[in-house]
Amino acid sequence: MKATYSKKDKLKSKKLIEQLFTDGQSVSSYPLRLVYLKTNFNENVFAKTGVSVSKKHFKKAVDRNRIKRLMREVYRLNKTNYFNNITTQYALMILYIGKHIPTYAELEQPMNKLFEKFVDKESKSN
């Protein structure tokens, strides 16, 4: 698996996002929360991922976009460590639930914990 975040890896379907939030499960590692749902895609990808930051806590779009950019980069660099063995397809949404603008280092450790919790939870359910 390549450490890329291409167009086919992005979660864009409004139907799938709605279904994700109604039927999906979640794991948290402050300041991040991961909502996930098992699904099937036509493409050959293991997961379609989206990132989101609350407008309530970050009024300026510049701040929200900065945090989303950092989250995507942390995800891109760390996804190969956790998702190489997974055969099922997932829709993932990573939410930032903190109240301050983080640095890369402040996001990397919680993202790794989040992925570990996700992999543990899914390996127990299978």
Q: What percent of the chain has pLDDT over 70?
A: 99
Domain boundaries defined on the chain: 9-116
pLDDT value at position 54?
95
Architecture category of domain 9-116 in CATH: 2-Layer Sandwich (3.30)
Element (H, E) at 22: helix 14-23
pLDDT band at 78 (very low <50, low <70, confident <90, very high): very high
- CB contact at 8 A, 18 and 60: no
Q: What is the pLDDT of residues 103-115, one digit of tens each?
A: 999 999 999 999 9
Tell me which residue has tokens 């914990």.
Answer: 113
